[in-house]
Amino acid sequence: QVQLVESGGGLVQAGGSLRLSCAASGNIFSINIMAWYRQAPGKQRELVATITNGGSTNYADSVKGRFTISRDNAKNTMYLQMNNLKSEDTAVYYCYAALNQNYWGQGTQVTISS
């Protein structure tokens, strides 16, 4: 069983930065794929970035060059560094982990003001 808790969301002006954290209750070393998703009001949840246990990453085209996903297995934590934020990045951001089942965090709100 894995529990995921996001933190680091907030209100920031366009062009600013935020770093989201996802703390896992258990050892994430055995979790191959972790990811960040987001869901804007009235829209479907979308994949933002993924990272494997080996450190391989993938990004949605909309965030490439601006967001960086990382994980620290020793701290059981995954991160999302978000730079040059835009109004369209406004959403609830969710942490995801795939193990024997899919695990989700409760989400953290990110709001970008123009």
In this predicted model, what pLDDT tens digit does every residue of 32-79 receive, in sequence order?
899 999 999 999 999 999 999 889 999 999 999 999 999 998 899 999
pLDDT at 40: 97
What DSSP state is assigned to residue 101? S
% the chain with pLDDT above 70: 100
d(CA 70, CA 50): 9
Q: What is the dihedral of CA 35, 38, 43, 47, to 10 degrees?
A: -30
Over 90: is that where the pLDDT of 23 sits?
A: yes
The size of the chain, in residues, is: 114
Q: Between 8 and 2, whose confidence is greater?
A: 8
Both tokens of residue 53? 């246990």
Q: Which of 2, 64, 8 is nearest to 33 (CA)?
A: 2
